[in-house]
Amino acid sequence: MTLSAQYLWLIPALPLAAAAVGALVPRTGRALAAGAAIAALVASFLVSCVALVTALADPAAKLVYNFAWFDLGAGVFRLGWLLDPLTAFMCVMVTFVGTLIFIFSLGYMKADANFKQFFCFLSLFAAAMLGLIVANSLLLLFISWELVGLASYLLIGFWFHKPSAAAAAKKAFITTRIGDLGLLLGLLWLYDSTGSLLFFDGGAGVLEAAALGSLAAQVTVGGLVVSTAIGLLIFCGAIGKSGQFPLHVWLPDAMEGPTPVSALIHAATMVAAGVFLIARVYPLMQADALLAAVPVHALTVVAFIGAITALMGACIAVAQNDIKRVLAFSTVSQLGYMMLALGVGSWVAAIFHLLTHAFFKALLFLGAGSVIHAAHHEQDIRSLGGLSAKMKVTFVTFALGTCALVGVPLFFSGFWSKEAILHAAHGWDVSHLPFYAAVLGVVLTAFYNTRLMAETFFGKPRSPAAEHAHENSPVMTLPLVVLAVCAVVLGFLNTPVWPWLDTMLLGKTEVHGHSLMEGAGLMGLSVVLVALGLGAGWALYGRRTRVSATAPDPLAVKAPRLMAFLAAKLKFDELYDATVGRLNSASAAFADFLEFWVWGGLVTLLARLGEFTGLVNRETDERTLNGGFDNVSEQVRGPGRVYSRAQTGDVHGYLRFLALGFVVLVLLVVMGGAK
Amino acid sequence: MTFALIIISALILGCAAVAMALRNLIHSALLLIGSWAGVAAFYLWAGAEFVAFAQILIYIGAISMVVLFAVLLTRQGDAPEPVEFPSLSRFVTGLIAGGGVAGVLIGAILGMPFDVRTAQSAPALSVKELGAQLMGPHAVSLLVIGLLLTVALLGAVLLASDRRPDQPEDTP
Amino acid sequence: MSPLQICLLLSSLLFCIGLVGVLSRGSAILVLLGVELMLNAANINFIAFWRYGPNPDAGTGIVFVLFSIAAAAAEAAVGFALVIAVYRHQRNIRLQEANRLKG
Amino acid sequence: MIIAAIDSYLEVAPLAWRDAVVQWCPEPTQWLVHHLITIVAILAVFGTLFAFTPLAERKLLGRLQNRLGPNRSGLPWWQNGPKLWGLTQPFADAVKALTKEDIVPAAADKLLHFLAPVLIVAFSLLTFAVLPFGRHLVPVGLDAALLYFFAAGSATELAIFMAGWASRNKYSLLAAMRALAQVISYELPLILSVVPIVLIAGTLSLQDIVLAQGFWTFGFLPHWFVFTPWGFAGFLLFLVSALAESNRSPFDLPEAESELIAGHLTEYSGFKYALFFMAEYFGLTALSGLGVTLFLGGWQAPCAFLQFIPSWLWFMGKVIGMLLLFIWIRGTLLRLRIDQLTRLAWQFMVPLTLINLGNAAFWSLTAGWTGPLQLVRWGVSLAIIVIPFVLLGRRLSAGRHPRTYRYAAS
């Protein structure tokens, strides 16, 4: 059963249709909207499986279907769908995780008033995300990229009556827009220099050798190679969307949205879009790798940004007390890892980590969601605690998710994918700094995860909400179990012994693994690191669990100033306010001044001038012109009056003159004229 | 032959002169119709039968009716207006002007060197030839005169009809 | 004194009688009748020249007179309609009083 | 053979007698005597016809109304003489008319009052000058005879006006206006209904028109104009217009006793009234004579072999037939109101006559068609005249509800 690229559009189209149904159905059509959304996503999942089968049948082939969108002056502007192992894997992941999250949110959002609208936005988001994945043209990708941004705004600001949610939605939208600006510029520059935006177009595509060759050859300002410049611009889009170092501030605030939203968007799919984008345009990013005399390589920038983000995310996560914010910062750091993997040259490891991370991070968020749902929306871990007894299934699945995230060896998918990244980082010849940052990151990840587990699940419940928390209905716990299973199993897809995923993605057909012994050193190191992190975490939080909600944090006792600084998220928000915020208000004030005094003054000046000329005109007109004309016409009327006296109106008089005139005339002719 | 002519001209001129002098409009109109009959007789004497009959049909048949109706509609029939002074002075000046013109015309006629052919009989013109002439070279003017007549009559009807806006048209 | 000259004398005399009538009578109807007389005088002239004239072509003279009679009929109809309209306007048809068109 | 001889003699007899008489007179007056005799002959024949038409009318009307007409008058002072069953009634009427006192209203315009009856009779008689009574009996063979007929006919309006005006009373003046309106508005259809004949025959002289109707197909189907679709339509239209022109039967509004007493004749009595009466009948006979010459083949015999009967007998027979038809119509039809009358003239008769003219043009253009095309020609010609007749007829009567009289409020 094969699916030709031509029918790829079905995958995004089905959730879009469900979104339409959700939108058009009246508010009371809750079941219908939800059912449509889930059914559409399941159908889309089935189509993606078929697509996966076709893609894996010939992993190297890039099944492309291009069609004419509209004719733009001389040429025809074309878009298209692309089917290759990367697209297939991403589609399957998004649809599978999406379905589970949809089912979970059936329970989670049951009490909400506009339940129907929620599902409409969710399916809209799924459609946009799938559209982004299957796109063969950078423009189509950009369009769905923007739609994804819109969907995230709608979903973050879902409880818009909460001012903080509305502000968070705006913040998310604006910061991602800043990144998107870079992507747009890169897109335009690409179109300008290569004349087309299609990735693969039978040789003429952007990512094909001919175009890349021409890009690499051109050099712009500062000796920077054009392909590097475009690559970096596109990377800006990725930074914005995936919450990398400078533009990560919106992700923690995005936690204002309902938890399934955070799970779907801010764990599994949307944030991964940035990584997917760089993976998709990887040939373009690599184009400048061979040139030596280039001031900077695109991928090195990616690598360093990824390393910084990973380290920073992990540090801040340690000091967070809100369960969803801890997970948010852990997402930031894991994305940093993916960018690091991309930067150091192994995009396959990045995609593998993306896939595994999608599953266990979704699991962790849904776990957090069921905890919050059970504890009546209590999110602060200091006032939770002791839930392991009350919520058995959630506790077990949450524990499995945490192990996968931390990278407990051998059984958990997180370990293999992180291992691959460390291996790649270690092998990078440019510099070893990112490797050391990654290593420190692994330790910190292990530490804050154990802190999280200890604070929420062990010890005694420290608030009335935590007191009577109880396990949720199966509709919420079932997805947790499924995700937990995936979190464990997926790891074995791509172990060094049998690197099936890598071969598929790289397009090679037969799989030849190498024995475990080669990477043994690194594997040993990571095991040690994980153990170190876990030990430290247990030491501080495990043995003596927190006594009361207000008790001071053990770490804060040791390093109060550092922890306060970390808790304040490295004061980035204040930094941005201070710089960008003030700049904005200053320029607004200046514009207002300009408007009022400069232009306003000019306009009033003109008005005065107009009045003056009018005055002058009336004066001259009154005095000179009218006077002149009046007496001229007076002279004409005089003789007119004289002649009019001849018109007496007496018909006989006229006839008499007629007759006399005739007589005189004839006499003249007879007497004088003709002889 | 000239004897009949003299009688006819006497009839015409007499009727016309008296018609112009009379006070009573109806009598002067009828006398004028008599003079028109005289003119028709003159045409018969001159041999133009068709024109004579046309003259009778149109002048005595139709125009006399128009004149008489006009006289009735303007209520001139019964009260002959009194002779006041300005009409007499106007009469005298009119006479002088008319006399002047008559003098000039008669002078011209008498002084005219005609090569007179008394014996020549009236050119025989059958109605068929006249019809052919009318339809042939003069067809256009026939159409124009037809158009003129319709337009004139429509105009006359509109002018003379007494459309008082307040009185609704008497529906049958 | 050839018959032609007699006819011409007749028509000119008739013409002058008409003219005098037009000039001297105050009533509009008589003025119009005077005009009719003048038209008849003209027709007499036509027939006279048709009868004694040098031109042998018989048709044109007759046709011309027919058209002149028709035109005179149309003129009479419109003239008397005007007189009726004037009468309705000023209740008498003395020409002296119909002088609103004076300067 | 003898019949042919008798016929040829009778045919020319009137002319022969006249020439005989003319011979006796001295040379210079012969021209005068010649014409005097024709005038006297016409007057005699039509005078007697005039005498007996009213009698016939009253008898026929009586018969129509299921009663006897006048049947008492016999010979005077001869009590037990032969009973003449009312045949001498006309002479009795004549004597009555002459002996009646002739009243002239004081305020009347004496001259005009006297002149009106004279003029009306004169003009009615003038019209007889051109009617072709027989093959050779044409009083004045004018080239433009038809035009002369209508010229003379239209002069009668003048007399009607004079009669109306001279008697100086409201009724007669109003009646004169109405009569004039009727006569003038029907003069147009009268002349227009005759024009097709002129178009087909190609001449205005009545003698040529009668000659044009002189053929017989298969010996017994005469070529009269009435037996063609446009001819028949023209004849009917001519009949209606003639009725209106002579103020008879459905159109005798002027003498409508109930409304306007005797119309413009109210102030006339005695012999002047009789003159008006005579003028009316003369006009009627003249119009029927014209109708006969134009449509019913004048003095032509209906069949080829009947030609031995003198032509003027045929003419007189047809005229008498027409007169009886008029009387018959008078006995049956109702009088029309003045507005119906004028609307009939302007909205029905005039358009129909114009269409009939077109019909005749079509007829003359398609003269060349033979064989089956003849049927097509007849069919089309019929259609041209029948369809408008039906449409106009329906439009004429459409929406006309009976007139509502506005009686004085109580």
pLDDT per residue as tens digits for the range B47-96: 888 899 999 999 998 899 999 988 888 877 666 666 666 677 778 888 88
Per-residue confidence (pLDDT) for residue B119, from 0 to 100: 46
The percentage of residues in chain A with a pLDDT greater than 70, rounded to a whole number, is 98
Q: Say what the pLDDT of residue C44 is.
A: 92
Report the distance separating Cα A299 and Cα A344, nearest Å.
7
Nearest alpha carbon to residue A348 among A574, A502, A137, A146: A502
Q: What pLDDT sits at residue C79? A: 93
Interchain contact D154–B (C-beta under 8 A): yes
Q: Which residue of A has its CA nearest to C22?
A: A652
* B128 neighbourhood in chain D, CB within 8 Å: 202-203
Asked if B48 lies within 8 A of C65 by C-beta distance, the reply is yes
Asked whether residue D88 is domain-assigned, the answer is no
Q: Break chain C into its structural domains and give their ranges.
A: 3-90
Provide the domain count of chain D. 1
The pLDDT of residue D297 is: 85
Mean local confidence (pLDDT), A215-233 = 82
* Assigned domain for D192 exists: yes
Strand partners, A82: A64
- Token readout for A84 is 């290759």
**What tens digit of pLDDT does each residue of D192-204 get?**
999 999 999 888 8
The verdict on residue D238 lying in a domain is yes
- Are C75 and B152 in contact (CB < 8 Å)? yes
The subunits that touch chain C, with at least 3 C-beta pairs less than 8 Å apart, are: A, B
Nearest to A659 among B90, B97, B108 (CB): B97
* Cβ distance of D154 and B30 shorter than 8 Å: no
Task: Please check whether residue D400 touches B, CB under 8 A.
Answer: yes
**What residues pair up with A499 in beta bridges, in sequence order?**
A494
Which range, of A413-422, B107-116, B131-140, D118-127, averages the lowest pLDDT? B107-116
Residue A674, min C-alpha distance to chain C (Å): 22
CA-CA distance, D20 to D26, in Å (whole number)? 13
- On chain B, the residues whose CB falls within 8 A of the CB of C20 are 20, 94-95, 97-99
Cβ–Cβ pairs < 8 A, chains B and D: 64
The answer to whether the beta carbons of residues A116 and A25 sit under 8 Å apart is yes
Smallest Cα–Cα separation from D238: which of D342, D335, D352?
A: D352
B61–D112 CB contact, under 8 Å: no
CB contact under 8 A, B54 and D147: yes
Angle between helices B64-73 and C58-90 (to 10 degrees): 10
CB B105 within 8 A of CB C12: yes
**Residue D2 confidence (pLDDT):** 75
Output C60-67 pairs: Cβ under 8 A, ≥24 positions apart.
Answer: C60/B133, C60/B138, C61/B48, C62/B48, C62/B50, C62/B51, C62/B125, C62/B130, C62/B133, C63/B130, C63/B133, C63/B134, C63/B138, C63/B141, C65/B48, C65/B51, C66/B50, C66/B51, C66/B54, C66/B134, C67/B138, C67/B141, C67/B142, C67/B145
Which member of A644, A651, A659 has the closest CB to residue C19?
A: A659
Number of C-beta neighbours around residue A19 at 10 A:
25
Cross-chain Cβ contact C99/A645 below 8 Å:
no
Cβ of B50 within 8 Å of Cβ of C62? The answer is yes
Quick one: pLDDT band at residue A518, thresholds 50, 70, 90?
A: low
pLDDT at B84: 61
Residues of chain C with pLDDT under 70: 54-58, 103
What pLDDT score does D265 carry? 81
Residues of A in contact with B112 (CB under 8 A): none
For residue A370, what pLDDT is reported?
87
Flag if B68 and D161 touch (Cβ within 8 Å). yes
Phi, psi (deg, nearest 5) at residue D107? -80, 0
Q: Between the ranges A227-236, A518-527, A648-657, where is the mean pLDDT highest?
A: A227-236
pLDDT of residue B169: 56
Q: What pLDDT does residue C91 have? A: 81
Across the interface, whether the CB atoms of C95 and A647 are under 8 A apart is answered: no
Nearest-CB residue to C103 (from A644, A655, A656): A644
Q: What is the spatial distance between Cα A401 and Cα A365, in angstroms, rounded to a whole number?
A: 10
Domain-located, residue D82 = no
Residue D384 domain flag: yes
User: In this predicted model, what pLDDT tens digit does every residue of A544-556 receive, in sequence order?
Assistant: 777 777 777 777 7
What's the whole-number mean pLDDT along residues A16-39?
88
Q: Is D147's Cβ below 8 Å from some Cβ in B?
A: yes
Does C43 sit within 8 Å of B95, measured CB to CB? no
- For residue A178, CA distances in Å to A159, A274, A309 come to 24, 14, 18
**pLDDT surpassing 60 at residue B117:** no
Q: Which of D142, D147, D343 sits opposite B57 (nearest CB)?
A: D147
Check B91 against C71: CB less than 8 A apart.
no
Q: What is the reported pLDDT for D283?
A: 92
Q: Over the stretch A90-135, which tens digit does the pLDDT of each residue have?
A: 999 999 999 999 988 888 888 888 888 899 999 999 999 999 999 9
Chain position carrying tokens 């043009």: D361
CATH architecture of C3-90: Orthogonal Bundle (1.10)
* Chain B CB contacts of D109 below 8 Å: 26
Q: Minimal CA–CA distance to A358: which of A487, A501, A503, A505?
A: A487
Closest Cβ–Cβ partner in B93, B97, B104 for A666: B104
Average pLDDT, chain B: 83
Nearest to C12 among B43, B66, B106 (CB): B106
Contact A364, A267 (CB under 8 A): yes
- The 10s digit of each residue's pLDDT in A630-649 is 878 888 888 888 887 777 77
Q: Is the pLDDT of residue D261 over 70?
A: no
Between D404 and D341, residue with greater pLDDT: D341
Q: CA-based angle B161:B164:B169, to the nearest 5? A: 80
Nearest CA in chain C to A657: C23
Query: Which of residues A359 and A222 earns the better pLDDT score?
Result: A359
For an interface test with B, give the residue of A660, A665, A671, A675 to mutate (most B CBs within 10 A).
A660
Tell me the backbone φ, ψ of residue A453, rounded to 5 degrees: -60, -45
> Residue D260 has what pLDDT?
56
Residue given tokens 């779907």 in the structure block? A264
What rounded mean pLDDT belongs to chain D?
86
Q: Is D131 contained in some domain? A: yes
Mean pLDDT of all residues in D104-118? 87
Check pLDDT > 70 for residue D218.
yes
Residues of B with CB under 8 A from a CB of A: 90, 93-94, 97-98, 100-101, 103-104, 107-108
Instruction: State mean pLDDT over D132-158.
Output: 89
The pLDDT value given to residue B90: 79
Residue D152 to residue B33, Cβ atoms within 8 A: no
Amino acid of residue A607: A
Q: What is the dihedral of CA D287, D288, D289, D291, to 10 degrees?
A: 90
Q: In the predicted model, is pLDDT for residue B170 greater than 60?
A: no
Of A644, A647, A656, the CB nearest to C23: A656
CA distance A450 to A454: 6
- Tens of pLDDT, residues A247-294: 888 888 888 888 888 888 877 788 888 899 999 888 888 887 777 677
B122 touches chain D (CB under 8 A): no
Residue/partner pairs of A659-668 with CB below 8 Å, 24 or more apart: A659/B97, A659/B98, A659/B100, A659/B101, A659/C19, A659/C23, A660/B97, A660/B100, A662/B101, A662/B104, A663/B97, A663/B100, A663/B101, A663/B103, A663/B104, A666/B104, A666/B108, A667/B104
Q: How far is the C-alpha of D226 from the C-alpha of D230, rounded, in Å?
A: 8
Q: Which pLDDT score, from 0 to 100, does residue D356 have?
A: 93
Closest Cα of chain B to A675: distance in Å? 14
Decide if D179 is inside a domain: yes
In a domain, D134, yes or no: yes
List the single residue in C51, C62, C93 with the smallest CB-CB distance to B74: C93
């915020």: which residue's tokens? A581
Mention every residue, 6+ apart, whose C-beta is less than 8 A from residue A615: none
Q: What integer pLDDT is reported at residue A200 of this predicted model?
A: 86
HEC assignment per residue over A566-625: HHCHHHHHHHHHHHHHHHHHHHHHHHHHHHHHHHHHHHHHHHHHHHHHHHHHHHHHHHHH
Q: Which of A643, A644, A651 sits opposite C95 (nearest CB)?
A: A651
Chain-chain contact of A652 with B94 (C-beta, under 8 angstroms): yes
Give the structural domain span for D233.
Answer: 103-392
Question: Min CA distance, C3 vs chain B (Å)?
Answer: 7
Query: Which positions in chain A touch C95 (Cβ < 8 Å)?
Result: 650-652
pLDDT number for residue C13: 93
In this prediction, residue A628 has a pLDDT band, given cuts at 50, 70 and 90, of confident
Are A and B neighbours with ≥3 CB pairs closer than 8 A?
A: yes
Q: Do D177 and B72 touch (CB under 8 A)?
A: yes
d(CA A15, CA B157): 84
CA-to-CA dists, residue D396 to D22, D384, D400, D403, angstroms: 57, 18, 8, 15
Mean pLDDT over A609-619 rounds to: 88
Question: Considering only CB atoms, which chain A residues are within 8 Å of B108?
Answer: 666, 670
Residue A183's SS3 state is: helix
Name B50's Cβ contacts closer than 8 Å, sequence gap at least 6: B125, B127, B130, C62, C66, D143, D144, D147
Model confidence pTM above 0.90: no
Closest CA to C76 of B63, B73, A655: B63
